[in-house]
Amino acid sequence: MPPLPPITQALLLINVAVFCLAQFVGPWFLQLFALWPLGGNFLPWQVGTYSFLHGSIGHLFFNMLGLWMFGAELERLWGTRRYLQFYGASVLAAAVAQLLVAALLGSPYPTVGASGGLFGLLLAFGMLFPNRIIMPLFPPIPMKARNFVILFGAIELALGVYSPAGGVAHFAHLGGMVGGFVMIRYWRGQPPFGRRRR
């Protein structure tokens, strides 16, 4: 197994360290760094810091597993600078989507987790390696990466529409995918953008 590239490794370590720290410092940590709806406890830096917080060990584990599975290979392909730009764009797009949905629904609850960035990485993996066979944990059925992305995107959309107050930020996940999709089109110089970026 090749060594983890530096940004993926740093993200894994930071997420684990922040989770451990949050267990000791008290609820003020969540109040300062989780993504709160606009007009509540919202602070500008929360559009980035929320992605390093997790609600449980299971939440952390599955997000870090996805980051390792999809992020490491994308970082090897893109290099550290482009990979960090892409992950950041996905996290920010997920935050914007969640803020909009929270405002529409009048939700008072904060959002935490790296899932928005992870869903952006998942989309990129499906676009760049569409025929790669992967074995998801749920369902444990081998499938092409492209089909896996389409399936998970459809599930998130359905859950977001039919259970918007279910405690999971489904539209943040979709926002991360949209942010990743826009970033790839920007790099490729595809509409609505101009020529290809290097």
Point out the least confidently predicted range of 110-114, 121-125, 148-152, 163-167.
163-167
pLDDT in tens, 76-114: 999 999 999 999 999 999 999 999 999 998 888 999 999
Asked whether the beta carbons of 60 and 54 are under 8 A apart, the reply is yes
* Closest to 60 (Cα-Cα) out of 104, 14, 4, 94: 14
* Closest to 161 (Cα-Cα) out of 149, 176, 174, 150: 174
54 is catalytic: no
pLDDT at 37: 94
pTM, to two decimals: 0.92
- Find where tokens 């869903």 sit: 119
Confidence band, pLDDT 50/70/90 cuts, at residue 164: low
144 is written with which tokens?
A: 């092409």
Domains and CATH numbers, the chain: 6-188 (1.20.1540.10)
pLDDT in tens, 108-142: 899 999 999 999 999 999 999 999 998 877 778 89
List the catalytic residue out of 51, 90, 115, 170: 115
List the catalytic residue out of 54, 90, 170, 173: 173
115 is catalytic: yes
